[in-house]
Amino acid sequence: MKKIAIIGAGSMAEALISGMISNHFIDSKNIWVTNRSNQERLQELESKYQISTTYSLKELTTEVDIIILAMKPKDAGIALEGLKDFLTENTLLVSVLAGVSIQTIQKLVGTSNSIVRAMPNTSATIGMSATGLAFNEKATQKQIHLVDTMFNTIGMTQFIKEEQLDAITGLSGSGPAYFYYLVEAMEKSAEEIGLEPELAKQLIVQTLLGTATMLSKSEKPSHQLRREVTSPGGTTEAGIRVLEQHHVQEAFVSCIIEATNQSKRLGKMLSSQLNQKQPQT
């Protein structure tokens, strides 16, 4: 592979840059990055990762294999309008734009390129993302494998249908925030029961790591693992009883459903706005 271009220089772009370089997916000098106007940010990435940066779309797209769309979704219309004259039929577009459909991307660039949509999460910054991938009918098996390998540099991947991306957003895209929210509650409770913050954090983090490892290694379903910890008349049962009284499990189900529905609403609104900005031909 000769070259990867990234449009956008935020945290997700940096996570991909770091993952690709550290996992020897591509040589750093063959990663090219641009953004809308923040030259200081480009210089920071260039210095940190020895990548190439430019504001010339011609230079960015010359002999490029993959263009990663990582700008803010609201800026996609302007960015793709400027990009379309530099695309060839062999250019693979990879989008990490939340809410921007493959159909909208195709309409904005006015070409029939191979397109893959990806929904990573913020754990990509430490190489632990859970990423959903969906592709259009133009994507070849070679291209699909290439993108899968690329996103495996920042975590694990799952191929899904594009219509499932909203569900992925609600479940794993927003998922880290749900666990951080739970940790906040555990930290507050630790203070209430007399544990020092630093000690509490160490215990909470190790408990989460141990639980995640158990879930990944055990063939038992989560409800069975929970029951094995919950001895009749014991401390865990007493705690679980309070959670049930407050309908915590139902609240989490409603939370993820609402996040999924919000992803659908935002996606429709964003696609409508981007399509309205298209010049009439």
Which pLDDT belongs to residue 277? 62
**Of 21-30, 68-77, 129-138, 208-217, the least confident:** 68-77
* Each residue's pLDDT tens digit, 28-74: 999 999 999 999 999 999 999 999 999 999 999 999 999 999 998 88
Nearest to 62 by CA among 73, 74, 54: 54
278 has pLDDT over 70: no
Q: Is 141 exposed, middle or buried (0-12, 13-18, 19+ CB in 10 A)?
A: exposed
Q: Answer yes or no: CATH 3.40.50.150 is held by domain 174-246.
A: no
Which pLDDT belongs to residue 271? 81
Q: What is the DSSP letter of 169?
A: I
Distances (CA, A) of 204 to 57, 208, 210, 230, 237: 48, 6, 10, 18, 19
| Helix-, strand-, coil-residue percentages of the chain, each rounded to 5 | 60, 15, 25
Residues in the chain: 281
Distance CA(63)–CA(221), nearest Å, equals 48
Which pLDDT belongs to residue 244? 97
> Which residues, other chains included, contact 195 with Cβ-Cβ below 8 Å and sequence gap of 6+?
203
Distance CA(118)–CA(102), nearest Å, equals 11
280 has pLDDT over 60: no
157 φ, ψ (degrees, to nearest 5):
-130, 155
281 has pLDDT over 90: no
Position 37, amino acid: S
Which segments of the chain belong to CATH 3.40.50.720? 4-162
Which pLDDT belongs to residue 279? 52
Q: What is the DSSP letter of 279?
A: P
What tokens appear for 53 in the block?
Answer: 């940066």
Which segments of the chain belong to CATH 1.10.3730.10? 174-246
Torsion of CA 205, 153, 72, 182, to 10 degrees: -20
* Each residue's pLDDT tens digit, 189-233: 999 999 999 999 999 999 999 999 999 999 999 999 999 999 999
Name the pLDDT band for 12 (thresholds 50, 70, 90): very high
Distance CA(225)–CA(219), nearest Å, equals 10
Pairing relation of β-strands 31-34 and 4-7?
parallel
Give me the chain's average pLDDT, please: 94
- As a CATH number, domain 4-162 is 3.40.50.720
What is the mean pLDDT of the segment spanning 111-125? 94
Q: How many C-beta atoms lie closer than 10 Å to residue 158's C-beta?
A: 14
> Which residues, other chains included, contact 232 with Cβ-Cβ below 8 Å and sequence gap of 6+?
none
